[in-house]
Amino acid sequence: MLVQPHLFIPGPTNIPEPVRMAMNLPMEDMRSPEFPKFTLPLFEDLKKVFKMKDGRVFIFPSSGTGAWESAIENTLTVGDKVLMSSFGQFSHLWVDMANRMGLKVILCDEEWGTGVPLDKYADVLAKDTDHEIKAVFATHNETATGVTSDIAGVRKVMDAANHPALLMVDGVSSVASLDMQMGAWGVDCCVSGSQKGFMLPTGLGILAVSDKALEANKAQQPRMNRCFFSFEDMIKTNDLGFFPYTPATQLLRGLRTSLDMIAEEGLENIFARHHRMAEGVRKAVDAWGLKLCAKEPKWHSDTVSAIYVPEDIDSAEVVKTAYYRYNVSLGVGLTKVAGKVFRIGHLGALDEVMIGGALFGVEMALRDCGVDIRLGSGTGAAAQYFSETATKSANSRDDSNLKAA
């Protein structure tokens, strides 16, 4: 392969060179007396990304799914009632996990392309005057459909009902790309992983928890079985800068560099860049005459777009064509929308030219598969948008010499 594959799936995302280089180092002694000097600031800097006002962050050598599990088994107990909603493959899988772990799920089964139903949550919570519901779950960004939900809104309806339940949020494809304000929104457990907004390989399950979640952990009666994902074991060793078992040291070195890059760009700039990249993609989708899976603008995700192909076309063929002919990886449609949508992941280390490349590949693949679009229409619309708003360019240098030169 002459050049590296062009990766536009919604995780794993592209790894910046400094992050990749930071992971290329000899194995190190994870029990050395120097190790805590490296790990303790990692925990502190992660808290800034989640905008926490209290609590702590756990880093498991797992994928995000492990952090999902840890959040449940450390704060809830078998038979607990929880309020959840399903509107895509990832929110569906968390519901499935909760059922399998013995929680009693009150489920809002929503149309794919929509998100967390605030009205229904408000109704259910208002009726739960005995506070039998122990936790409210929300998937911040549904990666299967490209839908972002309003977590501040979930907090509002919980407060309006004066409801003391824990608020559990899946932020795997949002944290470090979309604004996540755990402190201000009163989020108690926020799940993430290394291979999306954090721009790392898969392998770290990152779980941020509030003081309230830590109290629930202590008060839990009876305790759910747990071992690998136990908060208590982690806390005992993490407080000293160590881990209860072998940590993924190279990934932690990569995380150090990723957090430094995030701090350097600045969270608000990162969110603005993601919005800009997403807008470019949405301009292209409009120009192609295609529709997003997200039903309304309020659901639009700035990290991933799921795009319907015309009914007589198989979206899996579009994804395959892009892969084999143009070395471009796109996301396939999952389960309910398999064959109907393809996805462009636009999160992590990306700029305008990379998005342009993705759209260029998509246009050719769509045309090759018989979709009636004009080549250049989508890329042109995105270029026009990017160029008209170029002062906000994602990767631009100081341009004071541009005119002089």
CB of 13 to ligand PLP, least distance (A): 11
CB of 90 to ligand PLP, least distance (A): 4
CB of 189 to ligand PLP, least distance (A): 13
Between residue 190 and residue 219, which ones bind ligand PLP under the rule CB under 6 A? 193, 202
- For the range 28-32, what are the long-range contacts, defined as Cβ-Cβ under 8 Å and sequence gap of 24 or more? 28/249, 30/242, 30/243, 30/246, 30/247, 30/249, 31/242
DSSP 112-156: BTB---HHHHHHHHHH-TT--EEEEEEESEETTTTEE--HHHHHH
CB of 138 to ligand PLP, least distance (A): 11
Between residue 140 and residue 199, which ones bind ligand PLP under the rule CB under 6 A? 141, 143, 170, 172-173, 193
Choose between 141 and 230: whose C-beta lies nearer to ligand PLP: 141
When CB distances to ligand PLP are compared, the closest residue is 64
Chain centroid offset of residue 211 CA: 23
Do 351 and 394 touch, CB atoms closer than 8 A?
yes
Q: Which residues, in sequence order, are CB contacts of 214 under 8 Å at separation 6+?
A: 55, 56, 231
The reply to whether 69 sits near ligand PLP by the rule CB under 6 A is no
Tell me how far apart the alpha carbons of residues 83 and 61 are, in angstroms, rounded to a whole number: 28
Give how many residues touch ligand PLP by CB under 6 A: 13
41, two tokens: 């600031």
CB of 254 to ligand PLP, least distance (A): 15
Choose between 74 and 321: whose C-beta lies nearer to ligand PLP: 74
Choose between 148 and 238: whose C-beta lies nearer to ligand PLP: 148
Q: What is the Cβ-side half-sphere exposure of residue 348, based on CA atoms within 13 angstroms?
A: 28
Choose between 64 and 247: whose C-beta lies nearer to ligand PLP: 64
Choose between 12 and 361: whose C-beta lies nearer to ligand PLP: 12
Of the candidate residues 18, 40, 65, 320, the single one contacting ligand PLP (CB under 6 A): 65
CB of 11 to ligand PLP, least distance (A): 5
Choose between 202 and 327: whose C-beta lies nearer to ligand PLP: 202
Edge-to-edge strand list for the sheet holding 6-8: 6-8, 328-332, 341-345, 304-308, 291-292
Do 176 and 49 touch, CB atoms closer than 8 A?
yes
> Under the rule (CB under 6 A), what is the footprint of ligand PLP?
11, 63-65, 90, 139, 141, 143, 170, 172-173, 193, 202
